[in-house]
Every structure is written in structure tokens, then in C-alpha cells.
Structure 1
Amino acid sequence: MVSGLINANPVIYEKKERRARTAPSTFHDEYAVEPIDQQEDPEYSYSLEQLKVVTEEAIEVDDKRNYVRVTFTPTVQHCSMVTIIGLCIHVKLMRSLPSRYKVDIRVAPGSHTTVDEVNKQLRDKERIAAAMENPNIVHLLDDCLAPSFD
């Protein structure tokens, strides 16, 4: 957790109850992907689901076209961690999915003061590659992607 939070009192929502599955029945189960919405937010000790940053409805999967799109909504319009959140989601998918998938991560329209700039950064493969060479960013991403046991 980061000190000096921009949104010191975020709204926390209940986690969805997930039913146990005995056989793969969804895209996420098929590839043993921990749901993206269970990732921890970089500023808080809550999941992206609990903060409603990512919802199931905001995850689009086109298995035939090898395409995944996640549209996320930061907790405040001036969130300073918006690019890191997008990068965490991107890295989670790239580490979890077969390499044939194209991943598209976006900030929801109107949900951030710099939506266009952030979306441009999240689509830039060179920026993502450069970020993955920065040890401070990699450490932050690893913290976000670490499994939670609650």
C-alpha cells in the first residue's frame, strides 16, 4: 500500500461468490487463469473486483480471433496509478494466456481525466517493454500480481 492516497476512503464492494467447478467451463478455467478482477490494487489491500475497477462485464474474450479486451474504471478520475493498473492487467494476461492472444487494455471512457493519453500508453508495445525493464515497476507489478489468500 502506498502512503498519501489520492482516494483515502474508496468504496469497497462485496466479492462475488464464485462456485467451485469440477471441469473447465469458461475461458478463464480452460487456461487456469486467476480471474483478473482478483488482482490486488497497487494502492489498497483490496482486489480490483472489490473496488469495481474491473467487472466481469468489462472483460471481452473472442477465442476464435484470439483476442481479449479488458476495460477498467479507476476509483477516481485523477487516479495517479491508472497506468500501473492497466499494466498489471496486461502483464497478468500475458503471463497467463497462450502467446497467440492479443491483449487490449483500456480505461473506460469518461472515467479518468487523461483517458486518451493513458489508453495510448497502454497500446504502445515499446512503452510496455520499457516499463518491464524498470526494476521499480517490475517490483510494483509483482506485488499487484502476487496471489492473495483471503
Structure 2
Amino acid sequence: MDLNLEEHKGTIYDLIRTIKDPEKPGTLEDLDIVYEAGVKVEMLRETDHYIVDIEYKPTIPHCSLATLIGLSMKIKLERNLPSNHKISINVAKGTHNTVDEINKQVNDKERASAAMENPNIRKMVEKCIQEPD
């Protein structure tokens, strides 16, 4: 991917901003859950790998679907970005009661994979990341 980092950041933001909220009408962008300043991209020149760090804010501090939102972003990015991207999805500090637990769940490869094996979770994630018509 020969984009400069700002263009790359914009491409990544475009991928996550259209994800639908699992319970409210609207996208993550519409609900201010994701925002451009929350997307950080760094390139490791020596390896040609990208570090993608996404920060998001659940709508309320006890949002029960914050993990599902993070998982939806992770799955959509993994499906749409080349394998030379290391993706990290994190709830913004102070915006949820269980920030550390959510971040651990979403960013642990085995936990995320196990979650996606659950048919109900998979169905919800697929519904959230489905592209708008």
C-alpha cells in the first residue's frame, strides 16, 4: 500500500465509520463512538509493517455492547487490510467502567477468535459490519 500515512489513516477511518451500532440506529460515526482523531497509523520502515491504533468511546460508561463494537471494528479491519497491519482497538480511558477488560478481550487473538465461533456473536458482528446499500 503506497499511500502516505494521512491517506492511509483516512482509508482506515472510512472502513470503521460506517459500522452500525448494535442497538441504536446509526453508525459509529453518527453516534461519535469513532472519530478521526482516534485513528493512529504508524509505519515501521524497517519491516514495511503498519501499526494501527483505534480509540473509541462507547455511548455510555456501562455500555453492555462495547466489546461487540470493538470486535466489529477489529474483524472489519482484519478483513479489509493487508496482513502487514497490526491492529489494536481500545476504549478511550475514562469512558467505560470496564476499559481494561474490554481492551483485553478485543485485542487477544484467541479470545476474539473464540467469540466469533459463537453463532450469536458472529451474526451480530456480521450485521454491524455489513456495508450500507
Specify if TM > 0.5: yes
Output the amino acid matched with 1:38: T
Q: 2:71 and 2:42 mapped to 1: Cα distance?
A: 21
**Which runs of 5 or more structure 2 residues have no equivalent in the other structure?**
none
Q: 2:103 and 2:22 mapped to 1: Cα distance?
A: 18
Residue 94 of structure 2 is aligned to residue 110 of structure 1: yes
Give the strand-richer structure, 1 or 2: 2
Larger radius of gyration: 1
Q: 1:122 and 1:57 mapped to 2: Cα distance?
A: 20
Identity of aligned residues (%): 42
Q: 2:50 and 2:27 mapped to 1: Cα distance?
A: 26
Could you tell me how far 1:100 is from its partner in structure 2? 1.3
Residue 129 of structure 2 is aligned to residue 145 of structure 1: yes
Could you tell me how far 1:63 is from its partner in structure 2? 3.2
For residue 117 of structure 2, give the secondary structure of its aligned residue in structure 1.
Answer: coil
Q: 1:118 and 1:78 mapped to 2: Cα distance?
A: 11
Spell out the pairing of 1:54-73 with structure 2 (5 A cutoff): 54-64=34-44, 65-73=49-57
Distance 1:111 1:128, change over 3 A: same
TM-score by length of 2: 0.86
Whether contact under 8 Å (1:68, 1:101) holds in the other structure is: yes
> Which stretches of structure 1, 4 residues or more, deviate above 2 A after TM superposition?
28-31
Whether contact under 8 Å (2:9, 2:41) holds in the other structure is: no
The one of 87, 96, 105 equivalent to 2:80 is 96
User: Which whole-Å deviations, capped at 9, do the CAs of 1:108-147 have from their partners, x for residues lacking one?
Assistant: 0000011111111122111011011111111101100111
Could you tell me how far 1:35 is from its partner in structure 2? 2.7
Task: Name the Cα RMSD after superposition.
Answer: 1.9
**Which runs of 5 or more structure 1 residues have no equivalent in the other structure?**
1-23
Residue 27 of structure 2 is aligned to residue 47 of structure 1: yes
Q: 1:133 and 1:58 mapped to 2: Cα distance?
A: 29
Distance 1:83 1:142, change over 3 A: same
Q: 1:130 and 1:116 mapped to 2: Cα distance?
A: 19
For residue 33 of structure 2, give the secondary structure of its aligned residue in structure 1.
Answer: coil
Whether contact under 8 Å (1:59, 1:71) holds in the other structure is: yes
Give the helix-richer structure, 1 or 2: 2
TM-score by length of 1: 0.76
User: Which whole-Å deviations, capped at 9, do the CAs of 1:28-85 have from their partners, x for residues lacking one?
Assistant: 6778x84311211111220101100000000011133411010000000000000000
